[in-house]
Amino acid sequence: MDLPGAALTAAQAHWLRALNPGGVCLFARNITTPEATARLVADIRSALERDVLIATDQEGGAVLRRLDGPQPPPPGPGRAGR
């Protein structure tokens, strides 16, 4: 799930509590300064009353994947086309 801005409003906090997501993804529109981002993360976790997963998404460019670590094996021939 994502949020529309860089600050969590009371209405958004209420909506988060009602939805109770497993995590929140922060996009470029959510990240302004380190201090504001830390406040947003703290407000999200406070609204959900737990240490919920917070992820970030790269915007405005090509997707960069970590290829220097372990990768899942490709599907075997018997799984191709399924």
State residue 35's pLDDT score. Answer: 96
Per-residue pLDDT of the chain (82 residues; tens, 9 = 90+): 789 999 999 999 999 999 999 999 998 889 999 999 999 999 999 999 999 999 988 656 665 556 666 666 666 666 555 5
**Domain interval for residue 16:** 10-56
Structure tokens at 62: 């090509």
Q: Is residue 30 one of the residues assigned to a domain?
A: yes
pTM attached to this predicted model: 0.70
pLDDT of residue 67: 62
Q: What values do phi and psi take at 60, rounded to 5? A: 80, 20
Would 68 be classed as within a structural domain?
A: no
CA distance 11 to 6: 14
Q: Are 38 and 69 in contact (CB under 8 A)?
A: no
- Distance, CA of 82 to CA of 71 (rounded, Å): 20
- pLDDT for res 61: 60
Give the chain's domain count: 1
Q: What is the pLDDT of residue 79?
A: 59
